[in-house]
Amino acid sequence: MQDSGAIEPDALIDALKALANPVRLEIVQWLRDPEAAFADYEPIADRAEVGACVSHIQAKSGLAQSTISSYMGTLERAGLVHPTRVGKWTHYRLDEDRMRRVGDAIGSS
């Protein structure tokens, strides 16, 4: 039986698949400190509370909006980020607990 803080095997696989893409991994790294990573962009909302605006993620990455939407959907389904709507904008915040549990699962193997 797994402890209550452990991530389920299927969820771990989904998280690792999401992180296997270099751009998605880079986005996750940016979301670890959105204030620093997106300092060149005027915040639309409190980044400490809601994370980074998807339009800023798209601009920083240089990729098409549709590609970023797909990537963020993958990260969201894996439980690694949480979206928050602020007006017409979607912001993404990293799920620090989920990331810790993914790291713990890898480190305890």
Tell me: the pLDDT tens digits for 25-72? 999 999 999 999 999 999 999 999 999 999 999 999 999 999 999 999
Check if the beta carbon of residue 10 is closer than 8 Å to that of residue 105.
Answer: no
Contacts of residue 13, defined as CB under 8 A and 6 or more positions apart, other chains included, come to none
pLDDT, tens digit (0-9, with 9 covering 90-100), for 67-109: 999 999 999 999 999 999 999 999 999 999 999 999 999 986 5
Give residue 108's pLDDT: 65
Q: Read off the tokens for 28.
A: 């996750």
pTM of the model: 0.91
SS3 82: strand
Among 29, 5, 28, 23, residue whose Cα is nearest residue 78: 28
